[in-house]
């Protein structure tokens, strides 16, 4: 045997044994004649040829190839169904030196993951995608995929795929190639040895592009699925050559590798300590260990009104002030799609203990900025609670003897200050007279954080002061 040398053998990119199995641990879980094994071998070969095994991260999909990580001795991540290109994008950006490959089937890439692949391609992410298209859902037992050929009988198209009902086979390579982002898109097939050799060249190019930093490359691989197609391996290969290839024509659909310039490596992200400054949050250095609240505080506040009254903003200022005072807070907004005049309310909790739930279903304080909100929430206020209402008086049928009711025309008072939209802050000023635990200085700093313009900050400071007065006069 000494004069024979090995020319083809199992790639070192595969594990010698696959730990998933209890016996025959050198064998994949794929069916006899399945294209995945061949695609795996092409990928392993390309990784080995380029010498990138120790910096490759393979993102496996949901589908028959979900277990790719049992076979490839590379870095591995298994993504949620269809999300492999998004995961691969993030991995590549976080680790620009890694070679990141998204390996996906047609159910994964072209159906549930159609958005992810479209946008990863459009961003021109510097990743490599292997798209194994066998025109059917294999793992789940043969449902129609977006790529299923017209007339093909699947479990969900028992009379054959019909364009009127089920649409047309989705041509992924063609579709993505109209985008400006991708650098290289080729469709290949696994229909015979010649086609497989061509597929190997395409896979290698797609990886090489990433090594050079050129950008997004995708290889669509038409692949046999003998089990679900109910053909033997030989017939399935023939169907790849004659059936699939006639609808999904092999060829290069996009090639900008010549003019593409290597993408600059992304700059490293900011240090964690620099993030507060970027977000415009000024940490009070001396007080970085948050001040310990003096007394026991547990404010459960519901604020409600119509959109545009500053309902959410009022809650935000309260929560920010509580946080500034070293308390635990939560702020949970709830509103419709309208920016103005829809209903709007928020839940605020400010507590000297950790907040268990951000929901305030039994408020101790209700701030009702209009009558419908008062009607809606008055019955939820706990006995002994406080209700503030934006109106001259509480309607008779809304009165409750067991709660503290304060009615003031806060919007009109704000109007006298020159800005009716500050009614919410007048109400805040009034509220601060009635609750304990939030220092004035914290409220002022919270306002400065939430309010973005100097003009409004001045208006709001006046509004708070006025609110305190109107509450006091009562």
Partner 1 sequence: MKPGAGRGLVEINVEECKGCGLCTDACIPKVLRLSASLNRYGYHPVEYEGRGCSGCGLCFVVCPEPGALRVLKLAA
Confirm or reject binding of residue 21 to partner 1 (CB under 8 A): no
Q: Would you say 199 or 360 has its CB closer to partner 1?
A: 199
Query: CA-to-CA distance for 130 and 205, rounded, in angstroms?
Result: 12
Residue 31 found at the interface with partner 1 (CB under 8 A): yes
- 188 contacts partner 1 (rule: CB under 8 A): no
22 belongs to the binding site for partner 1 (CB under 8 A): no
Indicate whether 241 belongs to the interface with partner 1 (CB under 8 A): no
CA 180-85-131 angle, to 5 degrees, is: 85
Task: Give me the least distance between CB of 203 and partner 1, in Å please.
Answer: 13
Q: Which one of the spans 10-18, 276-284, 384-392, 427-435 is the region binding partner 1 (CB under 8 A)?
A: 10-18
Q: Which is nearer to partner 1, 105 or 363 (CB)?
A: 105
Helices (H), 73-231: 84-94, 106, 114-123, 163-166, 172-177, 193-211, 226-229
User: Segment near partner 1 (CB under 8 A), from 20-28, 212-220, 348-356, 452-460?
Assistant: 20-28
Count of residues near partner 1 by CB under 8 A: 37
What is the nearest approach in angstroms of partner 1 to the Cβ of residue 108?
20
The reply on whether position 37 binds partner 1 by CB under 8 A is yes
Token pair of 344 as six digits:
């709007």
204: contact with partner 1 by CB under 8 A: no
The reply on whether position 19 binds partner 1 by CB under 8 A is no
232 touches partner 1 by CB under 8 A: yes
User: Is the Cβ–Cβ distance between 300 and 364 less than 8 Å?
Assistant: yes
User: How many whole angstroms separate alpha carbon 26 and alpha carbon 249?
Assistant: 35
Q: Does 12 bind partner 1 (CB under 8 A)?
A: no
Cβ proximity to partner 1, 221 vs 301, nearer residue? 221
Restricting to residues 450-469, name those near partner 1 by CB under 8 A: none
Minimum gap (Å) between residue 4 Cβ and partner 1: 4
CA distances from 175 to 127, 172, 182, 214, 403 (A): 18, 5, 11, 20, 64
Euclidean distance between CA atoms 16 and 27, whole angstroms? 10
Please select the residue that binds partner 1; options are 22, 35, 282, 358, rule is CB under 8 A: 35
Judged by beta carbon, residue 24 or residue 271, the one nearer partner 1 is 24
* CA 428 to centroid of chain Cα atoms: 36
Distance of CA 361 to the CA centre of its chain: 29
* Inter-axis angle of helices 454-473 and 423-434, nearest 10: 50
- CA–CA dist 73, 240 (Å, integer): 29
The helix or strand, by DSSP H or E, that contains position 320, with its residue range, turns out to be helix 311-324
Contact 191, 238 (CB under 8 A): yes
State in angstroms the smallest separation of the CB of 238 from partner 1: 10
Whether the Cβ atoms of residue 135 and residue 244 lie closer than 8 Å to each other: yes
The total number of residues shown for the chain amounts to 474
**Can you give the binding site for partner 1, defined by CB under 8 A?**
1, 3-11, 14, 24, 26-28, 30-38, 40-41, 44, 71, 192-193, 196-197, 226, 232-234, 237
């Amino acid at each position: 045997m000494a004069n024979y040398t090995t020319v083809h053998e199992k790639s070192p990119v595969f594990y010698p044994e696959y730990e998933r199995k209890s016996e025959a641990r050198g064998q994949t879980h794929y069916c006899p004649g399945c294209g995945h094994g061949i695609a795996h071998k092409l990928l392993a070969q390309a990784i080995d040829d380029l010498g990138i095994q120790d910096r490759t991260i393979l993102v496996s999909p949901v589908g028959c190839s979900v277990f790719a990580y049992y076979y490839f001795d590379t870095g591995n991540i298994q993504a949620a169904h269809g999300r492999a290109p998004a995961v691969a994008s993030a991995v590549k950006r976080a680790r620009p030196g890694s070679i990141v490959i998204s390996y996906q089937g047609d159910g994964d890439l072209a159906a549930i993951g159609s958005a992810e692949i479209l946008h990863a391609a459009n961003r021109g992410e510097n990743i490599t995608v292997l798209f194994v298209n066998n025109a059917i859902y294999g793992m789940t037992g043969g449902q129609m995929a977006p790529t299923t050929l017209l007339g093909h009988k699947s479990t969900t198209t028992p009379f054959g795929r019909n364009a009127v009902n089920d649409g047309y086979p989705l041509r992924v390579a063609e579709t993505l190639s109209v985008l400006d982002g991708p650098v290289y898109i080729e469709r290949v097939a696994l229909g015979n040895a010649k086609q497989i050799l061509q597929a190997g060249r395409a896979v290698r190019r797609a990886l090489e592009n990433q090594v050079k930093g050129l950008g997004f490359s995708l290889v669509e691989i038409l692949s046999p699925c003998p089990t679900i197609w109910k053909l033997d391996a030989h017939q399935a290969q023939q169907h790849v050559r004659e059936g699939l290839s006639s609808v999904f024509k092999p060829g290069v659909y996009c090639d900008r590798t010549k003019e593409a310039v290597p993408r600059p490596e992304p700059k490293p992200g900011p240090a964690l300590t620099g993030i507060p400054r970027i977000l415009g949050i000024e940490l009070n250095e001396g007080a970085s260990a948050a001040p310990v609240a003096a007394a026991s505080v547990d404010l459960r506040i519901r604020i409600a009104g119509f959109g545009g009254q500053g309902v959410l903003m009022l809650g935000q200022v309260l929560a920010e002030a509580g946080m500034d005072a070293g308390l635990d807070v939560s702020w949970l907004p709830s509103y419709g799609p309208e920016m103005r005049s829809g209903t709007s309310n928020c839940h605020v909790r400010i507590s000297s203990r950790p907040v268990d739930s951000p929901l305030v279903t039994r408020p101790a304080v209700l701030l009702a900025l209009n009558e419908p909100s008062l009607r809606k929430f008055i019955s939820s206020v706990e006995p002994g609670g406080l209700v503030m209402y934006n109106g001259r008086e509480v309607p008779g049928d809304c009165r409750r003897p067991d709660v503290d009711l304060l009615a003031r025309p806060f919007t009109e008072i704000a109007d006298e200050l020159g800005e009716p939209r500050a009614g919410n802050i007048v109400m805040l000023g009034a509220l601060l007279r009635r609750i304990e635990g939030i220092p004035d200085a914290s409220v002022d700093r919270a306002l400065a954080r939430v309010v973005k313009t100097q003009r409004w900050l001045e208006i709001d400071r006046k509004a708070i002061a006025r609110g305190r007065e109107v509450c006091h006069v009562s």
